[in-house]
């Protein structure tokens, strides 16, 4: 159901992650969140202060829906912790499986002549893949010590703005793990979906108004001979979000990759998977649209049904050049040719990550995003959002 975006045409947010403040040097290092927060004073103080800092940045930028910056994620390599947080905490997962290039994939698919970047030594994505250290599935998958409800509460207690918590989705964890337990791949995928569904309901129990499930595998496997079909991925995703739309606003995030701010494929198109994305039981689907300057806006608009809202990326996570408000506004005007304003939301293409850019770059991209959206809001006669960073005043309280 619509909560945070209800009656908020052109609401703004970011995908999730923000660069960690430089002084936030502590990491969970495989510990459960509550163990670190309960027994490690240094971690607890840095974590709360850092979440407060990134929420404050988002409020000063003027965003309508804020995130906790994914600050539970460790400073590891190439955004590994987006998967790793789950790898290290879910039940049923065991040893680290080293992966050298695509050898595991080659064994699975019988394709020994891969032309993928992850399989090519000397490619940044090859190094990313070597540092993923995915786990083996050794027993029944369970939610383990994800503790997303505690993660949500830690952030929401700091602000009256709604906090959007996000999680890597179960099928993406499965796709990267090595299954040594379940007979069929789809059984393992469904086990992840069921475990995460329980976990997400605990976030709803904690009072969250919005939740973002990140990256169904659909757009990464379309057109390949992968071991799980697109239809099965839709079924599994809908199992993962079952019952949640009655309780909060459910977002599905999609993009074309973010390891070290890289695109994982040279060319990409959402078009073939739009009929599948449209079957997902969610309120909002996000699309990466700033990176290719809105090339697929018309197709996206016609491919997603009226029961859902569409969230477009207004700034990219891949470049350090901060988009101008005019650039953001012009992309938004083109989106509005195909999408009604009360169905349209604006975000970053993906998270600003931990190794892609500095905190300042991310901050000014968020300010530009809001300034650009405000230009269009004015043209449409909508109320604009106060972006304190753009006021040039020194008397604005960012919190109350």
The DSSP secondary-structure symbol of 326 reads H
Q: How far is the CB of 350 from Zn ion (least distance, A)?
A: 3
Using CB under 5 A, pick the residue from 158, 329, 350, 389 that binds Zn ion. 350
User: Residue count at the site for Zn ion (CB under 5 A)?
Assistant: 3
Q: How far is the CB of 288 from Zn ion (least distance, A)?
A: 7
Q: How far is the CB of 372 from Zn ion (least distance, A)?
A: 20
Using CB under 5 A, pick the residue from 195, 204, 255, 331 that binds Zn ion. 255
Within residues 199-228, the interface with Zn ion by CB under 5 A covers none
Per-residue mark of binding to Zn ion, 298-337 (x: CB under 5 A): ----------------------------------------
Question: Which segment (93-101, 144-152, 322-330, 343-351) binds Zn ion by CB under 5 A?
Answer: 343-351
Distance CA 159, CA 356 (A): 27
Q: How far is the CB of 203 from Zn ion (least distance, A)?
A: 20
Q: How far is the CB of 215 from Zn ion (least distance, A)?
A: 6
Which CB sits closer to Zn ion, 49 or 265? 265
Distance CA 241, CA 210 (A): 12
Which CB sits closer to Zn ion, 191 or 350? 350
Which CB sits closer to Zn ion, 258 or 374? 258
Which CB sits closer to Zn ion, 191 or 261? 261
Question: Which segment (224-232, 331-339, 350-358, 381-389) binds Zn ion by CB under 5 A?
Answer: 350-358
Phi-psi region of 243 (alpha: psi -120 to 50; beta: other; left: phi over 0): left
Which CB sits closer to Zn ion, 339 or 350? 350
Q: How far is the CB of 17 from Zn ion (least distance, A)?
A: 9
Which CB sits closer to Zn ion, 92 or 356? 356
Q: How far is the CB of 253 from Zn ion (least distance, A)?
A: 6
Question: Which segment (134-142, 201-209, 253-261, 324-332) binds Zn ion by CB under 5 A?
Answer: 253-261
Within residues 63-82, the interface with Zn ion by CB under 5 A covers none
Listed residue (169, 330, 148, 316) closest to 239, CA to CA = 169
Catalog residues that contact Zn ion under the rule CB under 5 A. Answer: 255, 258, 350
């Amino acid at each position: 159901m619509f909560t945070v975006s209800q009656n908020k045409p052109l609401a703004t947010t970011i995908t999730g992650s923000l660069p960690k403040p430089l002084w936030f040097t502590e990491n969970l290092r495989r510990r459960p969140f509550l163990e670190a927060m309960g027994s490690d004073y240094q971690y607890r103080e840095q974590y709360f202060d850092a979440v407060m800092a990134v929420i404050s940045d988002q409020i000063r930028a003027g965003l309508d829906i804020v995130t906790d910056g994914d600050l539970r994620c460790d400073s590891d390599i190439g955004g590994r912790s987006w998967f790793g947080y789950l790898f290290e905490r879910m039940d049923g997962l065991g040893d680290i499986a080293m992966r050298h290039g695509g050898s595991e994939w080659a064994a699975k698919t019988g394709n020994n002549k891969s032309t993928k970047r992850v399989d090519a030594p000397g490619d940044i994505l090859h190094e990313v893949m070597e540092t993923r250290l995915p786990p083996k599935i050794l027993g029944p998958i369970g939610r383990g010590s994800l503790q997303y409800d505690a993660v949500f509460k830690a952030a929401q207690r700091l602000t009256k703005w709604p906090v959007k918590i996000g999680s890597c989705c179960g099928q993406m964890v499965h796709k990267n793990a090595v299954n040594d337990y379940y007979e069929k791949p789809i059984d393992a995928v469904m086990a992840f979906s069921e475990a995460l569904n329980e976990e997400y309901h605990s976030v709803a129990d904690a009072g969250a108004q919005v939740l973002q499930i990140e990256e169904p595998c659909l757009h990464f496997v379309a057109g390949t001979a992968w071991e799980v079909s697109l239809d099965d991925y839709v079924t599994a995703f809908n199992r993962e979000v079952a019952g949640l739309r009655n309780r909060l606003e459910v977002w599905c995030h999609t993009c074309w990759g973010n390891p070290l701010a890289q695109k994982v494929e040279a060319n990409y198109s959402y078009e073939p998977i739009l009929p599948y994305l449209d079957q997902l039981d969610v309120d909002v689907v996000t699309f990466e649209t700033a990176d290719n300057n809105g090339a697929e806006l018309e197709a996206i608009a016609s491919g997603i049904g009226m029961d859902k809202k569409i969230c477009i990326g207004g700034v990219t996570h891949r470049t350090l050049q901060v988009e101008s408000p005019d650039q953001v506004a012009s992309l938004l005007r083109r989106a509005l040719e195909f999408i009604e304003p009360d169905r349209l939301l604006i975000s970053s293409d993906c998270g600003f990550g931990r190794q892609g850019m500095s905190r300042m770059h991310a901050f000014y991209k968020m300010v530009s995003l809001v300034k650009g959206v405000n230009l269009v809001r004015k043209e449409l006669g909508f109320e604009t959002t106060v972006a304190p960073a753009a006021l040039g005043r020194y008397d604005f309280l960012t919190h109350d």
